Structure 1
Amino acid sequence: MSTEAVTHPTYGNWRRPRRPGLGPLGLVGTFGVFGGLILTLLVSLISLTAALVVIGPLLLFLVPLAVRTQDGRNVYQLMTLRIGWRRRKRKGAHLYVSGPLSRRPGGRFRPPGLLNKVTMHEGRDAYDRPFGVLRHAARGQYTIVLGCDPDGGSLVDPDQVDVWVAMWGDWLARLSHEPGLRGAAVIVETAPDPGTRLANEVLPRIAPDAPPAARAVMEEVVQRYPSASSEMHTYVTLTYGVPPGQKRTPDDVLTDLAIRIPGLLSGLVGAGGGAAYPLSAERIAEVVRVAYDPAVAPDVLNARAQHGGTGLEWEDAGPAAAVETVGSYQHDSGVSRTWLLTLAPRGTVRSSVLRGLLEAAPGTRRKRVALVYRPIDPATSARIVESDRRSAQFMATSGRGMVQARAASEVRAAEQAAAEEAAGAGLVEFSLMLTVTVDSDAELADAGVTVRNLSAAARVQLRAADRMQAAAFNCTLPAGLLPWEQTLVPQQLQEAL
């Protein structure tokens, strides 16, 4: 009898994008150093005192660029965040009230903040299924939301998991070839099971002449089973942009997206997404409504079970009131806090590294984990991997000791990334956002401890999105908000800093 060793595939080889420039200064700081040195040398030819006068303000400008936090933010970025928060608070932008008794026109409950100007459209795909499209008119973007029921990793062979991961990587690589695609996100939402669906399925089927003992057993099952279970929903959002100079009506965009949806769904099914389907406009509004007011989740499930739908529109999906503070976001019946990824798992990991982070957390009302993807076109991908390869080789030949050993590992990783990109793999920038919703402010401290334990088990580092909790909360909703598209400073300038 021969035995074969069971191999467990590992994954990794992701890295933080390299910042151009000298060390922590960035591209702007590097230009400032060289420009300042040239100016100082020219001024020193006139007077030494004048050179000292020039070099003083130069140092005051460069030092804040060199001092950075663990997640790479410099002093200027921290100051900008604080100044922006104070300005919003002074203007009252951290408060939101809607509805018939508010000052907002229309008297409806529109979603606040970044979602306030978003409108909803609905079309039908090639299989005549309704799908909702969120239109971000200010940025010329359109978002579709796909739902899926993943198969899960329990009792699945490692070979099958490896196939799913490969198919998921292929699906992400194909996104870089999607015309007009700006970004994508996968949102996994978990919450305690209210038991509404089980009650609607079991209680109406109990026969009137059933024995009292059997009836009592079934009623007890309906009452106690949900306390040990949870519900999980997975959404995939795809945000497309209209190329500059092209004028396209919403109907043209709906027709274009209706053709693409079947192919996107088939890719999700092959990657282990299970049953995949587009979300209708009503279903998207329900998801957002429940996120802002978790207490209405049983009512929404009851309405869908008894009447086939809620009739909810996007104009009424927002909260009646919301208050943003430094470290939390209060909205109707919930209080939320959002964390941002600062460091991905280092080294190689297994496919189950994020399982604990994605599962339902005890003591929370709702939890959403959003994996945000920014596909990079093939031409830019080739340029990036070649630049990383040259940088890694330079560091390997100029270091010593432990530094040289780490640089050699960087060379191997860069060579592997370049070979995979040349073979057709895609390059994607990704990040992670985590939102936890509880019932009151007093429970946020316990939620913070839970998140720290989950992030440690997942080998990721997270930081709270202080002074931008409202925007971060909206970015974890399946509404197609791309964080890098919502900043006042252009993305190219942010990378240079």
Structure 2
Amino acid sequence: MATEAVTHPTYGNWRRPRRPGLGPLGLIGTFGVFGGLVLVLLASLVSLVAALVVLVPLVVVLTPLTLRTQDGRNLYQLIALRIGWMRRKSKGAHVYVAGPLSQRPGGRFRPPGLLNRVTVSEGRDAYDRTFGVLHHRNRNLYTVVLGCEPDGGSLVDPDQVDVWVAMWGEWLARLSHEPGLRGAAVVIETAPDSGTRLATEVLPRISPDAPPAARAVMEEVVQRYPSASSEMHTYITLTYGIPPGQKRKHEDVITDLAIRIPGLLSGLVGAGGGSAYPLSAERIAEVVRVAYDPAVAADVLTARAQHGGTGLEWEDAGPAACVETVDAYQHDSGVSRSWMLTLAPRGTVRSSVMRGMLEAAPGTRRKRVALLYRPIDPATSARIVEADRRSAQFMATSGRGMVQARAASEVRAAEQTAAEEASGAGLVEFSLMLTVTVDSADQLGDASVTVRNLLATSRVSMRPADRMQAAAFSCTLPTGILPWEQTLVPHELQEAL
């Protein structure tokens, strides 16, 4: 008998974008070093004292650029983060109160923070399905939200999983060819099952003439099943921007998005997304409302099951009050803490590496995992992979010993990336954010331990989003908030730092 070895495909070869410049200095720091050396040499022609007068401030200014954290932030960025938090706290911007008794215009419950200036409108796609469009007025960005019911990986053949992974990679590569696309996000939300949907489906179907024993069994199933089950929702957000200098009417943008939605949905179905559909403005408002006030989740499901909808508008989707602290975010009936990715899994992983993180976490009210994607156009992708390839080759030829061995591994990874990009593969920058919501601040400690255990099984490194918990909470909502589009410092300048 001949036996065939079963091979399990692995995935990886993700690489952190290489910062231009000398070592940890970055491009700006490198220019500062060379420019400072020229000034020191010119000052040394005058006197040694003049050279020291120029050299000492230069060292003081450039030294913070060399001190970096694990995720690449330098000392100046850490100081700027603390100063920004102190300014927001001194102005009272960390506290938000809405409603009729607040000072907010209109007396309604608009979402706070980055979502405060967002407006929502609706359109219809080619199949006459209603979809909501979020307009971020401060950045002139438009977001559509798609929902899907993934098939899951249980009892599925490995060959089918490989096909899904390949189709998902093809769908991501297609995003780089989407005109005007600024970013995409996949949000997976899990929560304990309230039992409302099961009760709505089962109890009205019980026959009045059913035997008492059968009726008792069905009622017991409805009562006990939710305690051991959970609900999971998957959302995909696509955020588009208007090119600089170009003016387009709001109606024209919605029409353009309506044409693109059917093709995007068909790609999700092929990638294992199951039943995919666009979310209406009312459905988006419900998701945001439940995120800020988890206690109303059962009421929202009940209203949707009995009346076909809640009639909730975006203007009333926010919380009544919320308070941001250094390491937590309190909002209505929940307290949340968010984490941000610092390091992707090293080496290669299997397709199920994120399964533990995506499943419902015990002891939490709600949990959201957001995968953020920034597609890169083909022309820019070619320049990036070629620059990484040259940089890796330079490190391999200039290093020694263990450093040279690691550089050789970098060369192989860079060569593989260049070959895949040349054959048509897309290049995207990605990140990961996680938000956990509990009932009270006393439960945050246990939730943090749970998250650390999940990160260990998924082989990723994350850090708490301290002093920016409110912004991180908004980024994990399916509302199209892209972190790199919300910074005061342009993304290109941040890369140079």
Q: CA RMSD in A?
A: 0.7
Secondary structure (helix, strand or coil) at the match of 1:106 reads: helix
Secondary structure (helix, strand or coil) at the match of 2:106 reads: coil
Structure 1 position 66, deviation (Å): 0.4
Q: Which amino acid aligns with 1:63?
A: T
Question: What is the match of residue 51 of structure 2?
Answer: 51
Secondary structure (helix, strand or coil) at the match of 1:405 reads: helix
Separation (CA, whole Å) in 1 of partners of 2:38 and 2:313:
62
Separation (CA, whole Å) in 1 of partners of 2:141 and 2:318:
21
Q: Percent identity among equivalent residues? A: 85
Q: Which amino acid aligns with 1:15?
A: R
Separation (CA, whole Å) in 2 of partners of 1:129 and 1:71:
42
Separation (CA, whole Å) in 1 of partners of 2:280 and 2:270:
22
Separation (CA, whole Å) in 1 of partners of 2:154 and 2:217:
29
Question: What is the match of residue 379 of structure 1?
Answer: 379
Separation (CA, whole Å) in 1 of partners of 2:408 and 2:246:
48
Separation (CA, whole Å) in 1 of partners of 2:173 and 2:211:
58
Which 10-residue stretch deviates more, 454-463 or 208-217? 208-217
CA offset digits 1:212-249 (Å, max 9, x no partner): 11111111100000000000000000000011122111
Question: What is the match of residue 225 of structure 1?
Answer: 225
Separation (CA, whole Å) in 2 of partners of 1:232 and 1:153:
14
Question: What is the match of residue 204 of structure 2?
Answer: 204
Alignment of 1:111-130 (within 5 A): 111-130=111-130
Question: What is the match of residue 106 of structure 2?
Answer: 106
Alignment of 1:347-362 (within 5 A): 347-362=347-362
CA offset digits 1:244-274 (Å, max 9, x no partner): 1221111111110000000000000111111
Separation (CA, whole Å) in 2 of partners of 1:403 and 1:64:
25
Alignment of 1:425-440 (within 5 A): 425-440=425-440
So what's the TM-score if we normalise by structure 2? 0.99
Question: What is the match of residue 239 of structure 1?
Answer: 239
CA offset digits 1:17-67 (Å, max 9, x no partner): 001111111111111111111000000000100110111110110111101
Query: Would you identify which runs of 4 or more consecutive aligned residues in structure 1 move more than 3 Å?
Result: none
Q: Which amino acid aligns with 2:452?
A: R
Which 10-residue stretch deviates more, 393-402 or 356-365? 393-402
Separation (CA, whole Å) in 2 of partners of 1:137 and 1:250:
11
Which 10-residue stretch deviates more, 419-428 or 391-400? 391-400
CA offset digits 1:301-326 (Å, max 9, x no partner): 00000000000000000000000000
Q: Which amino acid aligns with 1:346?
A: R
Structure 1 position 3, deviation (Å): 2.5
Structure 1 position 120, deviation (Å): 0.2
Separation (CA, whole Å) in 2 of partners of 1:40 and 1:287:
59
Separation (CA, whole Å) in 1 of partners of 2:119 and 2:398:
55
Separation (CA, whole Å) in 1 of partners of 2:160 and 2:5:
17
Secondary structure (helix, strand or coil) at the match of 2:240 reads: strand
Counterpart check, 1:294 vs 2:294 = yes
Question: What is the match of residue 414 of structure 2?
Answer: 414
Alignment of 1:87-486 (within 5 A): 87-486=87-486
Separation (CA, whole Å) in 2 of partners of 1:82 and 1:413:
37
Q: Which amino acid aligns with 1:311?
A: G
Secondary structure (helix, strand or coil) at the match of 1:96 reads: strand
Q: Which amino acid aligns with 2:202?
A: V
Q: Which amino acid aligns with 1:254?
A: I
CA offset digits 1:369-406 (Å, max 9, x no partner): 00000000100000000011111111111112211111
Separation (CA, whole Å) in 2 of partners of 1:338 and 1:99:
26
Question: What is the match of residue 69 of structure 1?
Answer: 69
Secondary structure (helix, strand or coil) at the match of 1:360 reads: coil
Secondary structure (helix, strand or coil) at the match of 1:388 reads: helix
Q: Which amino acid aligns with 1:214?
A: A
So what's the TM-score if we normalise by structure 1? 0.99
Which 10-residue stretch deviates more, 334-343 or 159-168? 159-168
Secondary structure (helix, strand or coil) at the match of 2:232 reads: strand
Question: What is the match of residue 489 of structure 2?
Answer: 489
Q: Which amino acid aligns with 1:114?
A: L
Structure 1 position 209, deviation (Å): 2.1
Q: Which amino acid aligns with 1:113?
A: G
Separation (CA, whole Å) in 1 of partners of 2:58 and 2:137:
42
Structure 1 position 413, deviation (Å): 0.6
Gaps of 5+ in 1: none
Separation (CA, whole Å) in 1 of partners of 2:161 and 2:215:
42
Structure 1 position 2, deviation (Å): 2.9
Separation (CA, whole Å) in 2 of partners of 1:233 and 1:304:
16
Secondary structure (helix, strand or coil) at the match of 2:362 reads: coil
Secondary structure (helix, strand or coil) at the match of 2:216 reads: helix
Separation (CA, whole Å) in 1 of partners of 2:290 and 2:249:
31
Structure 1 position 138, deviation (Å): 1.5
Separation (CA, whole Å) in 2 of partners of 1:46 and 1:399:
39
Secondary structure (helix, strand or coil) at the match of 1:323 reads: strand
Q: Which amino acid aligns with 2:287?
A: V
Gaps of 5+ in 2: none
Q: Which amino acid aligns with 2:176?
A: S
